Amino acid sequence: MKVLGIESTAHTFGVGVVSDEHEDFILADERANYVPEKGGIHPREASRFLAEKAPEVLRRALDSASISLSDVDAIAVALGPGLGPCLRVGATVARALAAFFKKPLVPVNHAVAHIEIGLRITGARDPVIVYLSGGNTAVLAFLKGRYRVFGETLDIALGNLLDTFAREVGLGPPYVVGGFHVVDRCAEKGRRLLELPYVVRGQDVAFSGLLTAALRAYRQGADLEDVCLSLREVAYNSIIEIAARCLTQTKKREVMVVGGVAASPILRAKFETLAKIYGVDMYVVPPKYAVDNGVMIAWTGLLAYKSGIVIDIANAVIRQRWRVDEVDIPWRR
């Protein structure tokens, strides 16, 4: 079986083709990334970029898989969560293809897809999932047929925290240089730990108070390197703590870290220590598949399609706030 998947929830238009017939399950993986000149994403500008790139990315994917659309068994598309204008681009393309080539259309939740591709690539089976993308921070685990949210950020995401701090103090953009976040780099020379607010509530974290306090400390003349060190320690360790809480509560034996921020070697080292303390296996999804891509949509679409999940073209509407724990996962027990 072959499935083509379309990702267009935020800044990436991605088309992937996967198959369950080979060990090398990825037949095509093409992407176009919208990089804003500065600041965050402007949804309308991003969607214009995605719409412009869509035909070309689709063509490249079909070429590299050496197939035509009539060869695929189903078309999968990420219908949410994400930015409305961006989601609409992917949904429109997918509906048109499904109608024209008379293919079943499979709805995919973007967050579920991040998890599923992570499991497929790392070989983890039933881990505590720490999801750290630029705009989201959450701890999840599979329980009774769904991925349940055990903890999350109550305000801004870890990636946002680091990027915003870096921008405000003039360390970035770019935020990642040579695989290290500029805040990680700056922290290397830090000596003194300042007292900054460490907020863990239940299994949730919150970072906006930390951001404000760190910026205030810097503006009041504290050494930038000390502020970076303190900020990083507070932020990373609160993530480690909520992951540990989920591990002890669910008694799972694995932990999987996914998302762009997972690329931080410092954070990874902390997770390794954590895994050792609890005697669990640790997996990190490689950056290439931890960021948005079409392969993850195709792969999740394939799992879903095999479980009989399809959607009428007329009902294939986008869902900007589609929660991960609203999605049934019939392919896992």
Partner 1 sequence: MEKVDDVLADLLSEDIVVITDRGVRKCRLLHQLKEVWRGAEAVIYRGKLLDMDVVVKWRFPKPYLPREFDEMMRRKRVIDEVKTSLRAYAAGIPVPLPLYADADRGVIVFQYIEGEVLRDVVDTLDTPTLCRVCKELGEYLGKLHEIGIVHGDYTTGNVIVHGERVYIIDFGLAMFSKRLDDHAIDVHIFFRSIESTHIGREETMKKCFIEGYTAIRKDVARVVLSKVDEIRKWGRYVAERKLRSVWMGS
Binding-site residues for substrate sit at 131-135, 163, 184, 264
Q: How far apart are CA 285 and CA 289, in angstroms?
A: 7
Task: Indicate the residue among 104 and 134 with the shorter CB distance to partner 1.
Answer: 134
Q: How far apart are CA 227 and CA 168, in angstroms?
A: 13
Q: Determine which residue in the list 125, 185, 270, 306 makes contact with partner 1, applying CB under 8 A.
A: 270
Token reading at 127 = 């881990």
Rule CB under 8 A: is residue 200 a binding residue for partner 1?
yes
Rule CB under 8 A: is residue 148 a binding residue for partner 1?
yes
Q: Determine which residue in the list 53, 110, 120, 252 makes contact with partner 1, applying CB under 8 A.
A: 110
**Binders of partner 1 in range 178-197 (CB under 8 A):** 179, 181, 193, 195
Please count the residues of this chain forming the interface with partner 1, following the rule CB under 8 A: 74
Rule CB under 8 A: is residue 41 a binding residue for partner 1?
yes
Rule CB under 8 A: is residue 168 a binding residue for partner 1?
no
Task: Provide the minimum distance between the beta carbon of 41 and partner 1 in the complex, in angstroms, as a whole number.
Answer: 6
Which residues are known binding-site members for Fe cation? 110, 114, 131, 292
Rule CB under 8 A: is residue 253 a binding residue for partner 1?
no
Residues 6+ apart with CB under 8 A from 203: 139, 150, 151, 242, 245, 246, 249
3-state DSSP: the chain helix, strand, coil percent, rounded to 5?
A: 45, 20, 30
Rule CB under 8 A: is residue 329 a binding residue for partner 1?
no
Local structure of 211: helix, strand or coil: helix
Helix ranges, the chain (H): 43-65, 84-101, 110-122, 158-169, 182-187, 208-219, 224-250, 265-278, 287-290, 294-306
Task: Indicate the residue among 216 and 276 with the shorter CB distance to partner 1.
Answer: 276
Q: Determine which residue in the list 85, 159, 294, 301 makes contact with partner 1, applying CB under 8 A.
A: 159
Task: Provide the minimum distance between the beta carbon of 322 and partner 1 in the complex, in angstroms, as a whole number.
Answer: 8
Task: Provide the minimum distance between the beta carbon of 224 and partner 1 in the complex, in angstroms, as a whole number.
Answer: 18
Q: How far apart are CA 120 and CA 122, in angstroms?
A: 6
